[in-house]
């Protein structure tokens, strides 16, 4: 088994370029099933989840060819299979995002029901609400969820919560439905805007992404295009927090600062200096980390995908910080691992109360999800001694070459093969 070893490191220094966003690449790859001509995607991050999504597309009948390490050519003209394989579905929740496109292209789709994961039960009722509103019949049998529709007709859908995945699945299925679909209380994440831009380049007629109302006028057919994936705001935020935690001086390149306003604001409150310059952001950490409070919310609120990394920073603040998680029901699995490193954190329902400590100490720890893994890397950089992180496949889901890129900034971090414990 491979682990990541992190030793106490000097303040991080240098430049790091941010890759394309995982959470844009995955729905856009899924949406490629809707096009009938060549699609070229640029800045596709080299991640475990992206590899799985490419496998899913191939298994459904698309051709998927990497023209370069981050450029993929997809052709879905001959998509003919409506069943997503359990072994692929099981590896990644985002494979659920092919349901909408398959329903639109083939009139049916079957997937195994996704299970819960380390961050909560993650139901899919809102995705199904959307499919039903457009005329699909849904049945669940033997652990599979099957959607089928002879004809999809546009409809008005109110989402009880602005779910990112449900908004995306409904946008995709509605793009080939007859008439207009309106999604109210839609998710407003930048990745939704990227999906709209991509679908419109294929020939769709979608307006409103980035606001809470999205209008999709169905068209008969979608074609092909070339599209560049937006930068990953969570990867950018992760490097920024690491720079602040180590008291470093790091320039994060290829970032859209308007996508990470809460991250910038909270790092400033914590005492870091932030200098924005076009598509780069320089983070200069301070010796003293001020206590801060964060509350995760749908975009444009503070992102749940940055909560764990910020908690690693808060463990060393001078005073008491509070992190409230409102998006997922159980996203505090990193707390016990941070406590093994000497952090003083108490959980009370949706809140974590973090009393800053003088120092953390390295320890053997386990990543429970990808952001928990990123938080442990950050904690390892500032902890005395050595931190050994297990279950690094979680980290590989969302970060390409995390050790090389941190090492380039001066971090003492490497991968090691060890016997299974």
Ligand X SMILES: CC(=O)N[C@H]1[C@@H](OP(=O)(O)OP(=O)(O)OC[C@H]2O[C@@H](n3ccc(=O)[nH]c3=O)[C@H](O)[C@@H]2O)O[C@H](CO)[C@@H](O)[C@@H]1O
Ligand Y SMILES: C=C(OP(=O)(O)O)C(=O)O
**Catalytic residues, which ones?**
117
Residues 375-404: x where in contact with ligand Y by CB under 6 A, - otherwise, as a string: -----------------------x------
371 lies in the site for ligand Y, by CB under 6 A: yes
CA terminus-to-terminus distance, the chain: 9
Q: How far is the CB of 398 from ligand Y (least distance, A)?
A: 5
94 lies in the site for ligand Y, by CB under 6 A: yes
Piece of 62-70, 158-166, 380-388, 405-413 that binds ligand X (CB under 6 A):
158-166
Which residues carry a binding-site annotation? Answer: 22-23, 93, 122-126, 305, 327
CA atoms within 13 A of residue 222's CA, in its CB half-sphere: 30
Q: Name 404's Cβ contacts closer than 8 Å, sequence gap at least 6.
A: none
The entry of ligand X, ligand Y, none near residue 370 (CB within 5 to 8 angstroms by kind) is: ligand Y
CA 267 to chain centroid, in Å, comes to 20
Q: How far is the CB of 288 from ligand X (least distance, A)?
A: 31
305 lies in the site for ligand Y, by CB under 6 A: yes
- Rounded-to-integer distance, Cα 123 and Cα 146, Å: 16
Q: Which of 18, 126, 173, 338 binds ligand X (CB under 6 A)?
A: 126
- Rounded-to-integer distance, Cα 179 and Cα 68, Å: 39
- Rounded-to-integer distance, Cα 231 and Cα 209, Å: 17
Phi and psi at residue 216, in whole multiples of 5°?
Answer: -120, 115
79 lies in the site for ligand X, by CB under 6 A: no
127 lies in the site for ligand X, by CB under 6 A: yes
* Residue nearer to ligand Y on the CB measure, 9 or 304: 304
Piece of 71-79, 124-132, 146-154, 211-219 that binds ligand X (CB under 6 A):
124-132
Piece of 147-155, 163-171, 175-183, 244-252 that binds ligand X (CB under 6 A):
163-171
* Residue nearer to ligand Y on the CB measure, 133 or 378: 378
Q: Look up tokens 């941190």; give the residue.
A: 406
Which residues carry a binding-site annotation for UDP-N-acetyl-alpha-D-glucosamine? Answer: 93, 122-126, 305, 327
Q: Which of 39, 241, 260, 370 binds ligand Y (CB under 6 A)?
A: 370
209 lies in the site for ligand Y, by CB under 6 A: no
Q: How far is the CB of 165 from ligand X (least distance, A)?
A: 3
Total number of residues that touch ligand Y (CB under 6 A): 6
99 lies in the site for ligand X, by CB under 6 A: no
- Rounded-to-integer distance, Cα 53 and Cα 88, Å: 8
Q: How far is the CB of 165 from ligand Y (least distance, A)?
A: 7
Residue nearest to ligand Y (CB): 305
Q: Which of 17, 93, 132, 350 binds ligand Y (CB under 6 A)?
A: 93
* Residue nearer to ligand Y on the CB measure, 26 or 133: 26
Q: Name 28's Cβ contacts closer than 8 Å, sequence gap at least 6.
A: 41, 194, 195, 198, 227, 229
The entry of ligand Y, ligand X, none near residue 247 (CB within 5 to 8 angstroms by kind) is: none
* Residue nearer to ligand X on the CB measure, 92 or 409: 92
Interacting residues with ligand X between 24 and 43 (CB under 6 A): 26
Q: Look up tokens 């949706």; give the residue.
A: 350
Interacting residues with ligand X between 273 and 332 (CB under 6 A): 304-305, 327-328
Footprint of ligand X (CB under 6 A)? 23, 26, 93-94, 120, 122-127, 161, 163-166, 187, 304-305, 327-328
Footprint of ligand Y (CB under 6 A)? 93-94, 305, 370-371, 398
């Amino acid at each position: 088994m491979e682990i990541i070893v992190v030793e106490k490191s000097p303040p991080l220094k240098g430049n790091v370029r941010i890759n394309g966003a995982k959470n844009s690449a995955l729905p856009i790859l899924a949406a490629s099933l809707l096009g009938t001509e060549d699609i070229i995607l640029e800045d596709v991050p080299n991640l475990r989840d992206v590899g799985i999504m490419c496998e899913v597309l191939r298994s459904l009948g698309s051709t998927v060819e990497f023209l370069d390490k981050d450029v993929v050519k997809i052709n879905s003209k001959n998509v003919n299979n409506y069943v997503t394989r359990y072994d692929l579905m099981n590896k990644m929740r985002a494979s659920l995002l092919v349901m909408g496109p398959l329903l639109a292209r083939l009139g049916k789709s079957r997937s195994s029901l996704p299970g819960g994961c380390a961050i909560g039960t993650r139901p899919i009722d809102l995705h199904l609400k959307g499919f039903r509103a457009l005329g699909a019949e849904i049945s669940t049998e033997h652990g599979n969820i099957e959607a089928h529709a002879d004809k999809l007709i546009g409809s008005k859908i109110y989402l009880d919560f602005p779910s990112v995945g449900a908004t995306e699945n409904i946008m995709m299925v509605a793009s080939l439905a007859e008439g207009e679909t309106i999604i109210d209380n839609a998710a407003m994440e930048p990745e939704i805007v990227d999906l709209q831009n991509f679908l419109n380049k294929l020939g769709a007629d979608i307006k409103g992404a980035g606001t809470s109302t999205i209008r999709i006028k169905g068209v008969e057919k979608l074609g092909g295009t070339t599209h560049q994936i937006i930068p990953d705001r969570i990867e950018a935020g992760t490097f920024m927090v690491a720079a602040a935690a180590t008291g470093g001086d790091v320039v994060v390149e290829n970032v859209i600062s308007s996508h990470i306003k809460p991250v910038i604001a909270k790092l400033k409150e914590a005492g870091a200096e932030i200098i924005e310059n076009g598509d780069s952001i320089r983070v200069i950490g301070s010796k003293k980390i001020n206590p801060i409070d964060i509350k995760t919310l749908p975009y444009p609120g503070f992102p749940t995908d940055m909560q764990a990394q910020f908690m690693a920073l808060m463990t060393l603040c001078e005073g008491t910080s509070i992190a409230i998680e409102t998006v997922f029901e159980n996203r505090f699995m990193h707390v016990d691992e941070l406590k093994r490193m000497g952090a003083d954190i108490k959980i009370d329902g949706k809140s974590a109360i973090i009393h800053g400590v003088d120092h953390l100490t390295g320890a053997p720890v386990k990543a429970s999800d990808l952001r928990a893994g990123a938080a442990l890397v950050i904690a390892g950089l500032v902890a005395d001694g050595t931190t050994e992180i297990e279950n690094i496949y979680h980290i590989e889901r969302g970060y390409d070459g995390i050790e090389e890129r941190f090492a380039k900034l001066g971090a003492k971090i490497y991968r090691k093969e060890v016997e299974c414990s």
